[in-house]
């Protein structure tokens, strides 16, 4: 069984650009763009810890495990 992979969705219509998400991310999957806008810098680094999702005061982040279909 290989490494789990995740997707991180940011709802920019809810986000206030507070910076909590990229400041708590232990793997620096999230980073900061212009004016503090959070961006997904490297999705392959995401370990699915959900810290960004849980600590977001705007409920603007959704972390999901990617589903890999097994055709065998």
Whole-angstrom distance, CA of residue 69 vs CA of residue 31 = 30
Strand 30-32 relative to strand 38-40: parallel, antiparallel, unpaired?
antiparallel
The per-residue pLDDT for 57 is 97
Q: What pLDDT, in 10s, does the model give residues 18-67?
A: 999 999 999 999 999 999 999 999 999 999 999 999 999 999 999 999 98
Among the listed residues 2, 1, 9, the one whose alpha carbon sits nearest the alpha carbon of residue 64: 9
The per-residue pLDDT for 61 is 98
The per-residue pLDDT for 3 is 80
Size (the chain), residues? 72
Whole-angstrom distance, CA of residue 11 vs CA of residue 61 = 6
| Single pTM value for the model | 0.86
């Amino acid at each position: 069984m290989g490494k789990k992979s995740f997707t991180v969705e940011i709802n920019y219509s809810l986000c206030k650009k507070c910076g909590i998400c990229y400041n708590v991310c232990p793997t620096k999957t999230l980073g900061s763009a212009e004016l503090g806008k959070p961006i997904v810098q490297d999705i392959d680094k995401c370990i699915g810890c959900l810290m960004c999702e849980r600590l977001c005061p705007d409920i603007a982040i959704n972390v999901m495990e990617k589903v890999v279909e097994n055709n065998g």
